[in-house]
Amino acid sequence: MNNRKIFTSESVTQGHPDKLCDLVSDSVLDAVLAQDPMGRVACETAATTGMVLVTGEITRSAQIDIASLARKAICDARYD
């Protein structure tokens, strides 16, 4: 029996699209929790040149503008 285990991990640096997507998703989560501490967020973000797609589920009483949050996160990260 083979008892060997292989461990792998990925690390991306600043400027990688995954970092931008994480920033957008985190912005959505932070905005929801700021208004509704009991809010639940399952947010995923995908990005390509000229397009950002934010998907998932949000259970909340908070009123947030996801498009504005995404734009602000992108501008703050200097991706605009």
Cβ atoms of residues 53 and 45 within 8 Å: yes
Q: What's the CA gap between 16 and 38, in Å, rounded? A: 31
- Residue at 25 is within a domain: yes
* pLDDT above 80: residue 24: yes
Write out pLDDT tens, residues 25-79: 999 999 999 999 999 999 999 999 889 999 999 887 888 999 999 999 999 888 7
Q: Look at 34 and 15; give whichever has higher pLDDT.
A: 34
Q: Which domain does 24 fall in, by range?
A: 17-76
User: Which runs of consecutive H residues, i.e. helices, occur in the chain?
Assistant: 17-35, 66-76
Cβ atoms of residues 53 and 17 within 8 Å: no
Number of domains in the chain: 1
Instruction: Give the CATH number of the domain where residue 22 resides.
Output: 3.30.300.10
Q: What's the CA gap between 23 and 26, in Å, rounded? A: 5
Q: The whole model's pTM is what? A: 0.79
Cβ atoms of residues 70 and 21 within 8 Å: no
